Structure 1
Amino acid sequence: MTEKLKPTLGVFHLWGIAVGLVISGEYFGWSYGWGVAGTLGFLVTTLVIATMYTCFIFSFTELTTAIPHAGGPFAYSRKAFGDTGGFIAGIATLIEFVFAPPAIAMAIGAYLNVQYPELNPKLIAVGAYIVFMGLNIVGVKIAATFELVVTILAVIELLVFVGVVQPSFSFSNFALNGWAGSNTFSLSTVSGIIAAIPFAIWFFLAIEGAAMAAEEAKDPQKTIPRAYISGILTLVVLAILVMLFAGGVGDWSKLANINDPLPQAMKTVVGHNSPWMHMLVWIGLFGLVASFHGIILGYSRQIFALGRAGFLPSSLAKLSRFGTPHRAVIAGGIVGMVAIFSDSFIQIQGMTLTAAIVTMACFGALLMYIMSMLSLFKLRRSAPNLARSFLAPGYPVIPAIALVIAVICFASMFIFNPTIGAVFIGFLIVGYIYFRLTAKQRAMSEESING
């Protein structure tokens, strides 16, 4: 009997997952883009990436509703391009979703370290893994309800941040030396705009993970489009607001290349001991927790789907007595906890560990976006009778815009991040060797046997 996930999630739960997966990107990670592009340069990068994501989500929703499968992009690419296509999309998604959580866990440690300097941020990060892996194992309805609550609190807190710092906002502060550390646009500015791509992606990275809860969605043909469209609109508005107001209250260069830009921005306005400051740190943790918890849900479903289809060991597709893929949760968590301590052994391109992990996750995301859009075009031709309750608006222009921007970003990242790009290719090669050696495992998988 094939292991099946139970449909228990409504539109609000799915919106909470879609926004919650991403919302930590509004709290940290993006400010590294200021370090390479400046505020104005990074604003240009962000607007281009926001365009890509908006076009992508409107197109991706067609695939999600037509093929509501826990594997998400893996399932779409497999249907379009066979096992090899499924492998490429599956490993790309796995890299994205397994590498994003350790960056978020370290940001949780950094936020708590603001309040309690004596605490070790890495130990806090490991503790976060243990707590939220456990919550994901207990049950998806409980996990999704928790995700919805903390996501709503995180959105409210971002709006509070904007309201508190707004009286001190000045666009002249934001624009000062805003072109890669200069007041004038130049060729180096263009390089900075391109180099900042991964950090603009971080504003929106993983929203597609809600597709991995599609098997657990009630009436996915209706609930998923509503959740996705409202989710991407929510995130675009928040990203622009947070970036503008954080950069306009003082010297933005002091916020570049740190894991807690919002508390530091608010500190310049209200001081270290203000109740507003303490509230931002504590409630701001909800944003990090929402994404951390949501991405654990996402990677576990991806590992589960790959195991069920024989692309990973079938033991990873077993469900707990709570009906959750507990082994998949634990497997991804172990990889993430190892990554947290890898900065003692790995120095990549002079980056901080957080910036390196963000960049690696973005490589995986972009490859998956490319495969998803190619799958959309392919399935329109090869499976014209596939039940599509939602059609990508503006087809083929809208999905083509998403595809072209994703390809340009993917190629550009290799130019500006050659070492991390080489490591990413190494992961793909190792994965492909495993893929080639396990054809019999896929043929004997529960999914193949049971159709």
Structure 2
Amino acid sequence: MAATPAEQLKRVLKPVHLWAIAVGLVISGEYFGWNLGWAVSGTVGLLIATLVITVMYITFIFSYTELTTSIPHAGGAFAYAYRAMGPFGGLIAGYATLVDFLVATPAIAVALGTYLHFLNGAIPVLHTAMFFNVVFIILNAYGVKESATFSIFITLLAVAELLLYMGVVTPHFSMHTYLTNPMPFGWSGVFAALPFAVWFYLAIEGVAMVAEEVKDPKKNIPRGYISAIVTLVFLALGVMILTGGVTDWRNLSKLDYPLPEAIGIVLGRTSGLTKIFASIGLFGLIASLHGIILASSRQIFAMARSGYLPRSLANISHKFKTPHWALVVGGLVSSIFIYKFKTDQIIMLSVLGAVVMYMMSMISLFILRKKEPNLERPFAAPYYPVFPAIALVICVVCLIATIYFNLLMSYIFFGGLAAIILVFVLMGRHKIKLTEELMNG
């Protein structure tokens, strides 16, 4: 049974919660994953790719905020694409968003395991990943305000730690080191590094999925998004550039724990500060794991409420007012990926979902401007149509790069989409028009 009027999500979130959720969703991207891009591009190659992706995210977020404030719906891009393009548009955007968030979860859980393994070699990586997966499903089931309050606390610690990290490594930064072998693969390396640069910002759009739980969403959502993107741009560029100047990038380009390793190189692996840093480094990973589990459960909830997934997944806990079955199913999917895929494969699959979702969102923005010119837009995308056009073009380039350099994960992603579309058509769901009442359960 879907949510009844007495079982709606509670509007309790303020701008500070949104900042914490947005930064928390993303901040693990500063701790690991991006450094794998050095292996295909070198330091300067990844820097150029990151600057391009930073432009993409700035233009995307300012455009996406128009959709989020105009249509504050837990389904995020699914709801926008459905309204703009109908059932198939909604299905593609919803599938891409599910892949984006559900697949990012195991990558972060595994990174948590590797950080603990760095501290103590006797701690098993995969079992630890599973432990954290379960713990944060339980925490998210307890209540959204409690979850968001935890997000503020853990995100502040994660940001403080990255600032501490930059302070520790800055005196050891060498421009000569940073510019050694800077673009070994030329411009093709920059192209190949684009998906890894996406990992710096991937999941910030997840704030849209708690839109139904925000007080005064039309005013507070823009505040949350804009403060978050400013924070993340500063942290991403600072961490990447400073890390690249403390050692040869090849020493860090294949690790799931580049920052503790960099501190270990600077201060010595046995240094007390190195161990302390690795310990508090868990905060950033915990913040993202917690936030992404929250966002992915709302996406499952919204699609189930609309009939695009089994409606039982839209059930809300009577006591805590959270979508408990959506949380459980998301956790099961995450568990499968923890044991079956490598970190770089998981990142690429998540990036594919993110980029397709971004494209569908920008296309929806253009369509809705024409289709519903009188739709209330409390926050209009600045420099329209330039900003959404820039975001869309860079997304297309990034999608081509991801497919070209990651054929196996692309087959999995698009094969899954084809299967979902086939089932959707055979069940006749494409013939059912969702009214606003059906969209909202």
State the TM-score, normalizing by the size of structure 2: 0.96
Partner SS state of residue 7, structure 1: coil
Aligned match of 1:252 = 249
2:223: which partner in 1? Answer: 226
Residue segments in structure 1 that go unaligned for 5+ positions in a row: 181-187, 344-352
Is the 2:316–2:322 contact (alpha carbons within 8 Å) kept by the matching residues of 1?
yes
Q: Which string of whole-angstrom CA distances, capped at 9 and with x for unpartnered residues, describes residues 221-240 of structure 1?
A: 11110110111111011001
Q: Distance in 1 between matches of 2:404 and 2:276?
A: 41
Residue 42 of structure 1: aligned partner: 46
Corresponding residue for residue 381 of structure 2 = 392
The aligned runs of 1:7-86 (5 Å cut-off) are 7-86=11-90
**Maintained 8 Å contact 2:195/2:401:** no
Number of the residue aligned with 1:349: none
Distance in 2 between the 1:223 and 1:160 partners? 30
Matched residue type, 1:194? F
8 Å CA contact 2:46, 2:190 repeated in 1:
yes
Letter in 2 for 1:113: H
Q: In 2 relative to 1, CA 51–302 (structure 1 residues): closer, same or farther, beyond 3 Å?
A: same
Tell me whether 1:448 sits opposite 2:438 in the alignment: yes
Structure 2 distance, partners of 1:64, 1:227, is 12
2:27–2:284 contact (8 Å) kept in structure 1: yes
C-alpha distance in 1, partners of 2:390/2:196? 20
Partner of 1:160: 164
Equivalence for 2:415: 426
Q: Could you tell which deviates more after superposition, 122-131 or 270-279?
A: 270-279
Which residue number corresponds to residue 146 of structure 1? 150
Gaps of 5+ in 2: none
Aligned-partner Cα distance in 2 for 1:111–1:412: 30
SS of the aligned residue for 1:204 comes to coil
- Secondary structure of 1:242's aligned partner: helix
- 1:109 counterpart residue number: 113
Normalising by structure 1, report the TM-score. Answer: 0.94
For residues 323 and 203 of structure 1, the distance between their equivalents in structure 2, rounded to whole angstroms, comes to 32
Shift of 1:439: 3.6
8 Å contact 1:30–1:200 — kept in the other structure?
yes
Mapped to 1, the partners of 2:150 and 2:175 lie a distance apart of 37
Q: Aligned residues, how many?
A: 435
Contact kept in structure 1, 2:305 and 2:439, CA below 8 Å: no
Counterpart residue type for residue 333 of structure 1: G
For 1:189 and 1:361, locate their aligned partners in 2 and report how far apart those are by CA, in whole Å: 26
Which one of the candidate residues 307, 310, 313 is aligned to 2:310?
Answer: 313
| 2:352 counterpart letter in structure 1 | F
CA distance in 2, matches of 1:449, 1:123: 38
- CA distance in 2 between partners of 1:117 and 1:96 (Å): 31
Taking every aligned residue pair, what percent have the same amino acid on both sides? Answer: 52
**Matching residue's letter, 1:334:** L
Please, which of 4, 8, 15 is the counterpart of residue 4 of structure 1? 8
Q: What is the SS of the residue equivalent to 2:186?
A: helix
CA RMSD of aligned residues (A): 1.6
SS of equivalent to 1:330: helix
Map Cα deviations across residues 45-68 of structure 1 (whole Å, 9 max, x no partner). 000000000000000000000000
Cα deviation 1:352-399 (Å, max 9, x = unaligned): x10000000000000000000001111111111111110100000011
- Against the structure 1 CA distance between its residues 322 and 129, is the aligned structure 2 distance closer, same or farther, given a 3 Å change threshold? same
Residues 173 and 251, structure 1, Cα contact 8 Å, conserved in 2: yes
Answering whether residue 115 of structure 2 is matched by residue 125 of structure 1, we say no
Matches within 5 A, 1:340-355: 340-343=338-341, 353-355=342-344
Residue in 2 aligned with 1:304?
301
| Aligned equivalent of 1:402 | 391
Amino acid at match of 2:340: S
- 2:329 corresponds to 1:325: no
SS of aligned partner of 1:388: coil
Report the Cα distance in structure 2 between the residues aligned to 1:194 and 1:133, rounded to whole angstroms: 36
State the secondary structure of the residue aligned to 2:13.
coil
